[in-house]
Amino acid sequence: MILCSNLTIFYYSNSLSKESGIQLVYFALVLFPFIIFHSTERLSKAIGIAIPIICMTYSELTHYTLFPQVIIINQIYYDILYLTIIFINFSQLSHSFQKQG
């Protein structure tokens, strides 16, 4: 779940360039392991925290040019994309809570 979310953001942030601001979702993804894992699952937390940090660092070092750039002219498409990514991430999070409970 964490890997899928991070790879999705990684792809979109590199496709839409830094100006889209989608890479800022990484800051929220760093917090997911604290919500999902128990305090005894330290390795899982460490990996879950490291993945978004590595993805964002790699994107910054490559100047967001790993994938062909997609040019979106209208702001409404950015808004739809943001809402879709947020919905997917939070639905994955709620699904993980349903499995625990």
- 101: pLDDT strictly greater than 60: no
Domain total in the chain? 1
Residue 5: pLDDT band by 50, 70, 90 thresholds? Answer: confident
Are the C-beta atoms of 8 and 28 separated by less than 8 Å?
Answer: no
Q: Which two tokens stand for residue 52?
A: 């978004």
List, for residues 27-52, the tens digit of each pLDDT value.
Answer: 988 988 988 888 899 999 999 999 99
Whole-number Cα distances in Å, 2 to 26, 37, 38, 70, 71: 11, 11, 15, 25, 27
Q: What contacts 24+ positions apart, CB below 8 Å, involve 45-49? A: 47/2, 48/2
pLDDT for position 100: 60
Give the residue numbers spanning the domain of 18. Answer: 2-100
In this prediction the pTM is: 0.73
